[in-house]
Homo-oligomer: A and B are copies of this chain.
Amino acid sequence: MKKIITVGREFGSGGREIAKLVAEKLGIAYYDKELITLAAKEGGYDPEIFEKVDERATNSFLYSLSMGNFVVDGNANITRELPLADKLHLAQTETIRKLAQRESCVIVGRCANYLLREERGCVRVFLYGEKEQKIKRVQERYGLSREKAESLIKKTDKTRANYYSYYTGENWADMRNFDLALNSSTLPFDAVAETIVDFVKRKERAAR
């Protein structure tokens, strides 16, 4: 049976590392940033633009929403193009659905839990963590002061919550949109990944 695991995560909770471990342990594909490039290719867009939009979306999602361009056609009608952020989201949505159809995989972020909520065999995971541990991790990874790390966590999670709620109409970190929500500060990352793997296997057995 196909295994699809979506991973939502708080910034600094180790979500990417844990998601990669899950993919490794299950021997299946892993997608996060790679997804963007893939979406760009499949949508026929210039990958470079996609990278830029995504960067902007990460820094200020609401700003990127206002980037729709006005288009004047031959009859001097003015219409507004779909903002780049929306185009990117649409292309990603399509790609996520195609990936889930095609192969077993772990997909990080991008509202994948929402997009694939009806998919049989999909396990939707959310990872969060204790504030102090997240700050410490972000400080170490990016070489930031405590204050800057704290502010980056706040800003990034706010952007993720805005993005999620804009495209799904739901609350980003509401556990009811997930099958399994784990505090990654409770266990070592490898043990968190094992917990997810076991959950996936148990679900598979139950579906038989």
Asked whether B128 lies within 8 Å of A186 as measured between CB atoms, the reply is no
List of B residues within 8 angstroms of A195 by Cβ:
180, 195, 198-199, 202
Query: Which of B175, B187, B191 is A181 in contact with, Cβ under 8 Å?
Result: B175
Which A44-101 residues sit within 8 Å CB-CB of chain B? none
Is the C-beta of A106 less than 8 angstroms from some C-beta in chain B? no
Considering the chains assembled together, what is the distance between the CA atoms of A59 and B151 in angstroms? 43
Query: Which of B187, B191, B202 is A194 in contact with, Cβ under 8 Å?
Result: B202
* Given contact pairs A181-B181, A182-B180, A191 touches B205 in the complex (Cβ within 8 A): yes
Asked whether B188 lies within 8 Å of A206 as measured between CB atoms, the reply is yes
Copies in the complex: 2
CB distance from A183 to the nearest CB of B (A): 5
Is the C-beta of A126 less than 8 angstroms from some C-beta in chain B? yes
Considering the chains assembled together, what is the distance between the CA atoms of A205 and B191 in angstroms? 10
List of B residues within 8 angstroms of A180 by Cβ:
180-183, 186, 195
Is the C-beta of A114 less than 8 angstroms from some C-beta in chain B? no
List of B residues within 8 angstroms of A186 by Cβ:
123, 179-180, 203
Give A184-208 as 1s and 0s: 1 = Cβ < 8 Å from B's Cβ atoms. Answer: 0011100100110011001101100
CB distance from A186 to the nearest CB of B (A): 4
* Given contact pairs A181-B180, A182-B180, A195-B199, A187 touches B175 in the complex (Cβ within 8 A): no
Asked whether B187 lies within 8 Å of A203 as measured between CB atoms, the reply is yes
| Residue on B nearest A123 in the bound complex, by CB | B186
CB distance from A1 to the nearest CB of B (A): 15
Give A142-178 as 1s and 0s: 1 = Cβ < 8 Å from B's Cβ atoms. Answer: 0000000000000000000000000000000101101
Residues of A near any B CB (own CB < 8 A) = 123, 126, 128, 173, 175-176, 178-183, 186-188, 191, 194-195, 198-199, 202-203, 205-206
- A179-B182, A180-B186, A187-B206 given; 18 more Cβ-contact pairs under 8 Å: A126-B175, A173-B175, A175-B175, A175-B183, A178-B183, A179-B183, A180-B180, A180-B182, A180-B195, A181-B182, A187-B202, A188-B206, A191-B202, A191-B203, A191-B205, A194-B202, A195-B198, A195-B199
